[in-house]
Structure 1
Amino acid sequence: MRVASLDNPVRVDWFYDQRLRLDPAPYISGALEARKRLEAFPNTVRLDSVTAGHNGGIFNGPIFRRIYLSDPEHSVPFLGSKDMMTSDLTGLPRLRRSDAESGSLSYLRLAPGMTLISCSGFYAGRRSYVRPDMANIWSSQDVLKVDPDPEKIRSGYLYAFLESRFGEAFIKASVYGSAVKHIEPHHLADLPVPRFGGDLEQQIHDLVEEGAHLRAAFQAGLDTATEDLFHSVGLPELIDHRWHDTERELGFAESRWSSVSLRALNYSPRVRRLLDAIGSVEHTTLGEVCETGQLASGVRFKRIDADPDHGARLLGQRQGFWARPEGRWISLAAAPAGVRAEDETVMIASQGTLGEREVFCRPIFVTGSWLDHVYSQHFLRVVSGDPTVTGAYLFAFLRSEIAFRILRSMSTGGKQQDIHERLRREIPIPLASLADRERIAETVRQAYRDRDRADLLDDEARDLLTQAVEGADA
């Protein structure tokens, strides 16, 4: 249960400011406290006075029928409220191009420098920045766009404010609804934006922009590493594999079945063709690579909440794929050994359902700053025991569409699927030359160094803004 701060209790005039709104969100979220602080600030402007474009520059979109295609020539990447928080945008669904470019939806195309705010559902109120490589992506009606006017405000500065605790308090206080949360564009129109003059705002903008370019470099690095791997092993045809364009499995006969599994999905002919292709080049198996490493789920344990100064952030399958995770903080003293991860561990989401947009069988890579986190038992931990097949090289393969389909074919279980303990050991890992493996692995490592650097720059920009607001108020 949350209560208002005794140092700054709820006052009766606050109720009138909120038109007698009686739900507690505006009063205990810090929004009104932040608003009063910014009202006392010598120079603020309304948000809608520094935006431009469709609907004045603060807009979402209409509800519409979505028709998805797989052919890139006739479709465009489509971003939802959950996707906007992920660090790796590979594999976004693709909306029919003729619909996306129609007059009713063309304005949903993202532009670098926009701030995105999830405005419906469980994720309502979260923000992200449109980086340079997102220019050809369309967004759903559940994503609210804030399009800054470049003649009036720097885009990176505006994002830093909206991402700060001051902007967050206002945005989350605007959320309404019970079962399904919502934010509407007009709820944010009068949000007060502090102004500090050109130099500071430019400095903050430059930090955010540099971070955005590094995140674009992170995405490009991962894509390059995976493509390099398939080129290096002589399987370039697997780079742009279109699973949904291959013949559907409406019925097939299988003569190589065994007591290991009687489930038809585990004998998928489409996957068998992929396995045969990888088996035609030099390869090893995932079980052999991890023989002296680890290929198992994490330990189960009781979570004891702790504050950030005395605990570690716990990441589950949902938060593990976010650019900036927001998992709960737990006590390490009450957790068993092994909840952290070794450097270059590949974590595969190993429990879930078979929906195309679910993270089940998708991997993340643990290195750099993410070694500070702890991870739930719902990840399959892949730790190489072979120094010639590093975790970074493994990740370049396991993040591919090919590996995803192979892992999905090894599902076992009922409502909640898992990855078959024996079949996963038999996954073939294509082997490039030693020099190629090292180059591919280094590309992955550099991508994650770029991501860590981007996080630091975003934090620096937000800290500069917070210090400026608090310093002016002092």
Structure 2
Amino acid sequence: MKLVDLSNPVTSEWLADQSFRLDPSPYLSGALEARKLLERLPNTVTLASVTRGFNGGIFNGPKFSRVYLDDNQHAVPFLGSTDMLEMDFTFLPKLSKGVATRLPYLEVQPGMTLVSCSGTIGRMAYVRPDMTGIWSSQHVMKVAPNPERISAGYLYSFLRSRYGVPMIASSAYGAIIQHIEPHHIADLPVPRFDVALEHEIHDLVEQSAELRAGFQTGLVTATEDFFKSVGLPELIDLRWHQRERDLGFEINGLTSTTLRALNFAPRARHIIERLGAWRDTATLGEICDGGTLRTGARFKRIDADPDHGVRLVGQRQAFWIRPEGRWISASQAPADIMQKDETILVAAHGTLGENEVYSRSILVTGSWLENAFSQDFVRVLSGDPDVPGAYLFAFFRSEAAFRIFRSLSVGGKQQEYHTKLMRELPIPLAVPADRDRIAETVRKAYRDRDRADVLEDQALALLTTAIEEASA
């Protein structure tokens, strides 16, 4: 339940500003409180006055028919309002270039702030350098700063702050599905401070963006290195949908293990056979002997205050830069909600839609060891010190692994994995020097990710302190 902040109570002036609206949402969302606080600052400007570009620099896009392709030569990566929150853009859907070129202004540019403007309003992402060439949907509003008037990183920090988000979210309209339009936030008050402070905040955000770009590059490099080191460079660019479809095949020597056709799909079986043909392999079950290879235990969630609980991360949010999980009591949950360093979590329940997270993987290390994770993941923890989790993850994050895991599915509507088939999955082992190099590439990528979070938080803290001091 939201309560009024007694140090900043609702006043009759607030009621008058809202035409004496008496439902609590405008007053408890924080939007009016933030706006009134900013009005006390000596220098604010409107958002529209510091942006430039298409539609004045604040825009989303029209509704349009989407044509998806799987050939990178004829398609561009495509962001939705949830996709923009992801930390790894490897699995973005691909939009036809024919469609994209008719809407050139929907290409995101470094320094833009992306704002979700349909559904859940006010989620933010900063466009980092490696996102050039990615298009976005009409559900993503773009705020393009004018570099002659404001620093991009400073503007992003304000928009995602506890002052910017409530004011943006309070502009939403609609019944079931909420929306905002560019003109709803054009007059948003943006506080201005001395140039040195704004540049310091901007530099921190830019460094964070560079590190996140390095995180993405590091993971891609590690996966490519993995397949080259085990003599399988053809699996780097799999082109799954361009391979012959799994139609009209026959299988001999069936056992009681499984009778499901999907488990014998030729495209996936071919990849498994190629993995097993390497001169040094071990099954996933053998590698995890003494470690962990199972899904989590089901449990009842007991909500807790953040000061006395842990953040519970589910399948969807596990792939975001910053998960927005629910806080629960760790003492009232199984021990396996917390993970050991370099545990791989594979999304274990879902459907076979191309854009579903089912069968995708994350690595739990660094700051993410503080999070708790739901039962909807297979916990993969190596029990062999010569095969570290970081090395395994270079394979698990690949499309080849994604397609293999999906071929191991059992179930009806909701899929999960056949435990025996998963344990029998062959993992090619590169020579020790290569394994160490691949693992260190992955570890550095995750150190970059954690450092990026710290720098972004520092930028936000500087801005918040400046606003509080100026309004005191």
TM-score range, shorter chain: over 0.9
> Deviation per CA, 1:389-414, whole angstroms, max 9, x where unpaired?
11000100000000000000011111
2:167 maps to 1:170: yes
Residue of structure 2 in register with 1:309 after alignment: 307
Residues of 2 paired with 1:470 and 1:156: CA distance?
19
* Distance change (3 Å), C-alpha of 1:430 and 1:13: same
Residue of structure 2 in register with 1:86 after alignment: 86
**Residue identity opposite 2:26 in structure 1:** P
Q: Is 413-422 or 359-368 further displaced after alignment?
A: 413-422
Q: Is 203-212 or 175-184 further displaced after alignment?
A: 175-184
2:435 maps to 1:437: yes
- Alignment TM-score, normalising by the size of structure 1: 0.97
For residue 321 of structure 2, the aligned residue among 316, 323, 342 is 323
> Deviation per CA, 1:242-281, whole angstroms, max 9, x where unpaired?
1111111233211142211111111101111111111221
What is the aligned-residue identity percentage? 63
**Residue identity opposite 1:229 in structure 2:** F
For residue 357 of structure 1, the aligned residue among 355, 358, 362 is 355
CA RMSD of aligned residues (A): 1.2
Residue of structure 2 in register with 1:73 after alignment: 73
Residues of 2 paired with 1:211 and 1:239: CA distance?
28
- Alignment TM-score, normalising by the size of structure 2: 0.98
Q: What displacement does 1:7 show?
A: 3.7
Do the aligned partners of 1:294 and 1:381 also contact (CA within 8 Å) in 2? yes
Equivalent pairs, count: 471
Q: What displacement does 1:41 show?
A: 0.7
Residue of structure 1 in register with 2:420 after alignment: 422
Residue of structure 1 in register with 2:38 after alignment: 38
> Deviation per CA, 1:357-395, whole angstroms, max 9, x where unpaired?
110010010000001111111111000001111100010
Residue of structure 1 in register with 2:397 after alignment: 399
> Deviation per CA, 1:65-84, whole angstroms, max 9, x where unpaired?
01111111111111111110
Residues of 1 paired with 2:443 and 2:429: CA distance?
18
Do the aligned partners of 1:125 and 1:183 also contact (CA within 8 Å) in 2? no
Do the aligned partners of 2:121 and 2:168 also contact (CA within 8 Å) in 1? no
Secondary structure, in 3 states, of the residue corresponding to 1:435?
helix
Q: What displacement does 1:329 show?
A: 1.1
* Distance change (3 Å), C-alpha of 1:188 and 1:22: farther
Q: How does 1:268-279 map to 2 (within 5 A)?
A: 268-279=265-276
Q: Is 160-169 or 199-208 further displaced after alignment?
A: 160-169
Residue of structure 2 in register with 1:213 after alignment: 210
Q: How does 1:72-221 map to 2 (within 5 A)?
A: 72-102=72-102, 105-121=103-119, 123-221=120-218
Q: What displacement does 1:448 show?
A: 0.2
Residues of 1 paired with 2:19 and 2:349: CA distance?
46
Residues of 1 paired with 2:269 and 2:319: CA distance?
29
Residues of 2 paired with 1:212 and 1:66: CA distance?
29
**Residue identity opposite 1:195 in structure 2:** R
Secondary structure, in 3 states, of the residue corresponding to 1:448?
helix
Residues of 2 paired with 1:91 and 1:332: CA distance?
32
> Moved runs in structure 1, 4+ residues, more than 4 A?
19-23
Q: Is 378-387 or 169-178 further displaced after alignment?
A: 169-178
Q: What displacement does 1:21 show?
A: 5.5
Secondary structure, in 3 states, of the residue corresponding to 2:331?
coil
Residues of 1 paired with 2:6 and 2:172: CA distance?
24
Q: What displacement does 1:304 show?
A: 1.5
Do the aligned partners of 1:116 and 1:146 also contact (CA within 8 Å) in 2? yes
Secondary structure, in 3 states, of the residue corresponding to 1:333?
helix
Secondary structure, in 3 states, of the residue corresponding to 2:335?
coil
Residue of structure 2 in register with 1:229 after alignment: 226
Residue of structure 2 in register with 1:8 after alignment: 8
Q: Which runs of 5+ in 1 are unaligned?
A: none
Q: What displacement does 1:310 show?
A: 1.1
Residues of 1 paired with 2:458 and 2:25: CA distance?
29
Residues of 1 paired with 2:21 and 2:47: CA distance?
22
Residues of 2 paired with 1:251 and 1:24: CA distance?
62
Residues of 1 paired with 2:88 and 2:23: CA distance?
37
Do the aligned partners of 2:81 and 2:116 also contact (CA within 8 Å) in 1? yes
Residue of structure 2 in register with 1:366 after alignment: 364
Q: Which runs of 5+ in 2 are unaligned?
A: none
Do the aligned partners of 1:52 and 1:148 also contact (CA within 8 Å) in 2? yes
Secondary structure, in 3 states, of the residue corresponding to 1:224?
helix
